[in-house]
Every structure is written in C-alpha cells, then in structure tokens.
Amino acid sequence: MKLYTILRNKWNVLLLACMALVVTTGCNDWLAVAPDNQINEEDMFKDGNGYRNTLNGIYIKLAGTSLYGRETSWGLVDVIGQMYNSKNWKSTATYFKAANYQWDDASVKTMISNIWGTAYNDIANCNNLINHVSVEDSLRFQSHTLEKNMIWGEALALRAFIHFDLMRLFAPSMAEDDKKAHLPYVDVYPSIATTYGTNTDFLKKVERDLTEARTLLATCDTTASHKVWMTTNCRMLAQGTTAEIPEDVFLAYRGFRMNYYAVTALLARVYLWQGDYEQAGKMAKEVIDATYDDSPLFDFAGSTDLAFNLKDYNSILFSLSSQTLTETYQSFISSDSDSPLVLDATTVFEDSKEDVRGTDMLGSLGGRKYSLKNTIAKSSIGSDMIPMIRLSEMYYIMAEYYANKQDWNNAANMLQTVRSARGVLQQTLTITSKEQFNTELLKEVHKEFVSEGQLYFYYKRLNIKPATKALFVFDKPENEDI
C-alpha cells in the first residue's frame, strides 16, 4: 500500500515517467558494449587501419606452428620428405610415425587436420578481406591507391599461395593425377559448403589469382619510386636512408609480405608443378634478372658470411616471421627430444669440405649434426625469419627448364651457380641424362632447403619416393567430415 500512496502523488508519477523515458531511449547505446579486443566487421573496415590489421593477421596465422611456424616447413613436411634421420627416434614420437607414413595414427591425423583447418581458416580471412578491399574507396587508405592495390594484391596472392600448398599436400602430383576432385578452391566468404575441384581446375584458379595479384602488386613494387623498397636492406631489415625506406612500417619489410617478385617466383613454382617449363622458366628468369640501380635485386650472401647470416636473408624473396620460432625449434634439437631433427650430414653434403652448408651451418648434438638455421638468438637478425621462397629455387627452376630441353650444360650451370654461392668451387657438375639430372637436383635441394619444407614436394613432383613406403597424398582430414 505504501507504493500506492507514492503513486498518488502527481510529482512522483511524473518523476517515474521521466526516469522510464531516459532509460528506454538511451538504452541502445548503453547496451552497445563489447570486450576491448573484439571489433565487429563494420567497425573494422571503417578505416584503412582495419585492412592493415586483417592482412597482418593472415600472415601471423601462417607463421603459427600448425603451418609454416613448424609443420609445413621444418616440421611434418620435412619429416615426410626424409630430410632428417629418423632411425633413432622413439617409436611413440609423432614424427616417427609420420616418417613411416602412418597417416591413420591419431596424433599424425590431428597434425594433418590442423594443417587443413588452419589453412582454410586463413583462406576465409583472405576472402573476407578481398570482399571488402575490392570495393573500397582508395581514399580510405593512408597511401591511397598504392595501399589499396598492395592489400588487395597480397590477399589474392596469399589465397593462391595457401591453396597451392594445400594441393601439394592433399592431392596427387600431376604425374599421378587421377583426374578426381581432391580439395576445394574456396574464394567466397561466408560459405557453408565447398565444391571440390580437380587438379587442373584448381591450378587454373591458383594461376588466375596470382596473375591478378601480380598486376596489382606491380604498381607497388616495380615502380621507379618504390622499387628501392625491394632491395635487401629495405626488404629484409627495413634499413637505409630516409629517402629509401618508407616512413610507414606497414609499407616496409616487403620481404616479409607477398611482394611482386614473391608472386612472380610463386607463379614459376606453380607452372613448374603443372609441367609448363616455358612459363616457369620465364617467371624464374624475371626474378633472377631483376635489378635495382644496375645491380641485381636478389643475390646470395657471400659463402663466408653464411656462418653469421644463417638464413641467407639476401636471397630470400618471401619470408614469414615468427618471434617464437627459435624457441619452438629448440625443443627438437635437445637430447630430451623423442625425435631430434638430426641430419645424415656426411651423406647429404657428400662429405664436402667446401660446402659451407655442410660445415658452418651445422651444429652438433651428441655426435649427430643438425641445422643451425633456426637457432639464431632471439631478436638477432634473422631469428624470426621463416624462408618461404628463395632465389636458389629460381635457379633450380631454370635448371629444370634447360634440362627439359636436354641442354645439360646450362642445366648444370644453373645448379653450379647455387653451389658456388655456397662455397663449392672445386667440385663441378657434369650432367648427361635426365635421370642423373634429377638425382643431382634432389641432392642440391636437400642441401639448400634444409628445414625449409621444400624437399618433399620435389620428390613428389618428380615422382621419386624418398623412402620405399613413402606416401605422397595425405588422407582427407577428419574435420572435413561430419
């Protein structure tokens, strides 16, 4: 009854009515709160910074341990490419099972599902970024058209890059192509169902995206005013005079992003996978011949410097970056590890005293050798680099281009160029047949791409088994099913 008496007072009624009015009208804003580190899509792409963040996010995910931070570079992919000597590994170790191609083992299965899941999630991120950037007004970006093209081009290139590597893992090589559809090329967001494509259809889409990306990125990385950003100091270290390096960190470090030359080199890799030696050679040559100020844009570090420049960042066309790389790798080169990543150094480097890669670039673990590449002390130059595409690969592609024409001399020369850069000057190569060429090529690839996840794909493409029971196609992962 007390409240009823309050109601009878006119003033109180008025006051209550006012309160109700204030509360209901101001409510929508009052309810619009969200945790600090979550932003909805509309707010995200309201200004250019959101575009930058989303693009960076895609690179960060790529550098995670499920993908190039471990499994698809020096981890699983090198393990199944028989990069390492797995004889003394514990039989319970996941890498031991993987080295023996036990795809149905639960822990190997999880690893494979994670690669698939993380990669496609990153592709979804690419797709949504492309949705937005392709229709955005270039004035929204701080560096206008340059930045718009850069973000757009890189997103397209990343989409193709990730898809292509998934295909190299989950579909048979062109030599073993069964014309079946093995995985989907996803270029829409959002999607709740995906359509699988055959190798040929899939590669067409990879090529389409890369070609488009290349056109867009040409406006950022090859123009007279910006080409300087591609030089080693700018590209890898963001060092140089104020006139040379961009003020904005987002525009710097082109070597850590999908730049024009990275895309060109990737196209060379894709054409080679298809067996299109002409196009592959053409693309590789463009990268090798690229110059700035009359000197080559990409070159090898001097062989005597390799002991300090373990990643040879001078010759990296595209690298990812992870601050935790050294730490992650450390546990695999310790005596406690159940699968220490040791190499058959004497066999791999053919007992060469000259090859710096077989001497200065190796460490010792209880008499066994391991690669020092990922052991650079944290925050020293190169410690975070995960090389994705190197200049040496372009020479190997040129070598295959010549070998395809049975021009053994030039093919040998191309291989020798990389060998010389690594200190192998005395022992030269003479090649006389395709079989011999392939053997020599595989040897070179094994030496050059230690812990970089390329060897397996060379074996697969050439259809040469690295081990008798080697398998070249992953099973369709469990998370793809219901």
Touching other proteins, residues 162-201 (CB under 8 A)? 183-184, 186, 189-194
Question: Which residue among 65, 102, 143, 324 contacts other proteins (CB under 8 A)?
Answer: 324
Q: Minimum CB separation from other proteins for residue 474, in Å?
A: 13
The verdict on 482 binding other proteins (CB under 8 A) reads: yes
The verdict on 377 binding other proteins (CB under 8 A) reads: no
Cβ nearer to other proteins, comparing 127 with 231: 127
Q: Is 182 helix (H, G, I), strand (E, B) or coil?
A: strand
Helix (H), strand (E) at residue 126: helix 106-133
- Which parts of 22-81 interact with other proteins (CB under 8 A)? 23-24, 27-28, 30-41, 44, 50, 52-61, 63
Beta strands (DSSP E) in 408-452 are none
301 CB-side CA count, 13 A:
19
Task: Provide the b/e sequence for 83-93 (b: ≥16 CB within 10 Å).
Answer: bbbbeebeeeb
Helix (H), strand (E) at residue 416: helix 408-421
Cβ nearer to other proteins, comparing 137 with 481: 481
Question: Residue 368: which of 329, 348, 342 has the closest Cα?
Answer: 342
CB 99 within 8 A of CB 82: yes
The verdict on 471 binding other proteins (CB under 8 A) reads: no
The verdict on 1 binding other proteins (CB under 8 A) reads: yes
Handedness of CA 420, 426, 427, 428 (dihedral sign): positive
Q: Minimum CB separation from other proteins for residue 19, in Å?
A: 8
CB 330 within 8 A of CB 372: no
Cβ nearer to other proteins, comparing 235 with 390: 235
- Which parts of 242-271 interact with other proteins (CB under 8 A)? 249-250, 252-253, 256-257
| Ramachandran angles phi, psi of 7, nearest 5° | -60, -30
Cβ nearer to other proteins, comparing 114 with 339: 114
Q: Minimum CB separation from other proteins for residue 12, in Å?
A: 10
The verdict on 4 binding other proteins (CB under 8 A) reads: yes
Q: Minimum CB separation from other proteins for residue 171, in Å?
A: 13
Binding track, positions 194-233, relative to other proteins; x by CB under 8 A: x---------------------------------------
- Which parts of 398-457 interact with other proteins (CB under 8 A)? none
CA 85 to CA 108: how far, in whole Å? Answer: 18
- Which parts of 111-130 interact with other proteins (CB under 8 A)? 113, 116-117, 120-125, 127-128
Count of chain residues binding other proteins (CB under 8 A): 71
CA 270 to CA 461: how far, in whole Å? Answer: 11
- Which parts of 277-316 interact with other proteins (CB under 8 A)? none
CB 320 within 8 A of CB 63: yes
Helix axes 106-133, 144-170, angle to 10 degrees: 150
